[in-house]
Structure 1
Amino acid sequence: MTPPRTVLITGIGRRIGQHLAAHYLAQGDRVIGTYRNHTDTVARLEAQGLIALPCDLTQTVDLARLVTRITQLTTQLDAIIHNASVWFDDAECAADPNKILALYAVHVTAPVALTLQLHTALPAQSQHGQAGRLVVFITDAQCLNGGSAHAHYFASKAAAESAARSLAKKLKPHTRVNTIAPGLIMFHPHDTATERQQRLAQNLLPFEPSATAIAQTLDYMLACPALDGARITVDCGYTA
């Protein structure tokens, strides 16, 4: 029987992060999750055993506190899942340039800093050439193609892809670093039936996969020790 793992997931307050936290708690793993705002969702996950830590990833002081707190909680860290994300279009960024900084902080600089600081504070081990830790960046299936209304958002996600590849080289052989690039995973409640049909029609596989598809991909990454420096696109063929 596989012993429980210790998994860190950023951005567990909603959608994919919420599902991943519940998924690994249900498997008996010890899950540490970060949130920006304490919500009913976070409280429900805490009731299931989540260790929830507040952290604004745009603030370096919060990152330092987070690393200190994690090292107080555990001596072992099996996986780091950089899931936290913000979404601003170019018009919002033009109106408030601080939103551009937030995109890069949440998607790139904070995950890189957190990975490296935890690598120093809680060194991963390598046995027989196999890494003792998995780091995963959740990016975006479309980030390498871009989008006319979200240049800053897609650029920050593409930068996260590049950072992950660099970290895979830097942290070998003790840590594996991969990316998962989701497309449409789940609709928002306000999406109309027409909008949903139009969006699904753009996929090779016209269905809404749900966050379960991301959990399944993460399970594969955790189980396959040979997967490193890899990108898996989960988008029902949207970018094929």
Structure 2
Amino acid sequence: MNNPVLITGVGKRIGYQLAKHFLENDVPVIGTYRSHYDTIDELTQMGAKLFQVDFYVTAKVDEFCESVKSQFDHLRAIIHNASDWIPEKVERPNDEIFDKMMTIHGKIPYQLNLAFADLLSNTTDDMADIIHFTDYVAQTGSKKHIAYAASKAALENLTLSFATLLSPKIKVNSIAPALIKFNPGDDEAYKQKAVNKALLPREGGYSEVIDTVDYIMRSQYVTGRCFALDGGRHLK
């Protein structure tokens, strides 16, 4: 049996696409989700081992960690995809929003990396991987999503610390996407405005993310790095 990959937030978009990719290539998937979608049933039928976890509830996080450690002896990778996106009004600071952003994007990856470090070290492959999904705004900030941007910057910094701590058996890298895929309800005016922010005016597409994850996991010589998938926004 191949070493399983643990992916947080597999219910939709990037998490769902990555889970399908691994399952279709005979790589076992352990996944988490907070809300139930039809995709959860699909992934379960494909063989994924899924856990419903609210990462904002400490007891549920502890229960999840114990369940995984009791059922699995090793992991090939942890991919931190679970995310939340809550805008705040600057004129009315909201501590709850800030705490939530820091929890889901900082505290949870910190906890899971430490909780499952032994399982990653036990991989039967040459190396194991931790991949953090950060965001383009970690480097630019955001007027409308200050807490979100700050929390993603914290996650990017965790990449550096864990790469140092867990080397040489475990590689730790991050991926910072900008526009990957529009949502079905996005109107044409919004789409045009969004693509025009990049030198390459288009959606990145899920294949860009999957290819980047595959490259990181194949690599024997890359750790502590952040891979930007942003179409050249930094030069626009």
Q: Do both proteins adopt the same fold according to a TM-score greater than 0.5, normalized to the shorter chain?
A: yes
Q: How much does 1:38 deviate? A: 2.0
Given candidates 204, 207, 216, the residue that maps to 1:209 is: 204
Give yes or no for the alignment of 1:142 onto 2:137: yes
Q: How much does 1:61 deviate? A: 1.5
Secondary structure at the counterpart of residue 84 of structure 1 = coil
Aligned to 2:165: 170
Q: How much does 1:91 deviate? A: 2.1
One-letter identity of the residue aligned with 2:141: G
Aligned to 1:49: 47
Aligned to 1:156: 151
Number of residue pairs matched by the alignment: 235
Aligned to 2:12: 14
Change (3 A) 1:125 1:209: same
One-letter identity of the residue aligned with 1:238: R
Q: Which moved more, 1:32-41 or 1:90-99?
A: 90-99
Secondary structure at the counterpart of residue 137 of structure 2 = coil
Given candidates 231, 235, 239, the residue that maps to 2:234 is: 239
Identity rate of aligned residues, in percent? 32
Aligned to 1:197: 192
Change (3 A) 1:125 1:4: closer
Secondary structure at the counterpart of residue 239 of structure 1 = helix
Q: Distance in 1 between matches of 2:150 and 2:202?
A: 27
**Counterpart contact for 1:9–1:17, Cα < 8 Å:** yes
Q: CA RMSD in A?
A: 2.0
Change (3 A) 1:27 1:126: closer
Q: Distance in 2 between matches of 1:93 and 1:105?
A: 23
Q: Distance in 2 between matches of 1:134 and 1:55?
A: 22
Q: How much does 1:73 deviate? A: 2.4
Structure 1 stretches lacking a partner, 5+ long: none
Q: Distance in 2 between matches of 1:126 and 1:18?
A: 23
Q: Distance in 2 between matches of 1:52 and 1:64?
A: 16
Structure 2 stretches lacking a partner, 5+ long: none
For each residue in 1:152-180, what CA deviation from the matched residue of structure 2 results, as whole angstroms up to 9, or x when unmatched?
11000000011111111111112111000
Q: Distance in 2 between matches of 1:163 and 1:59?
A: 22
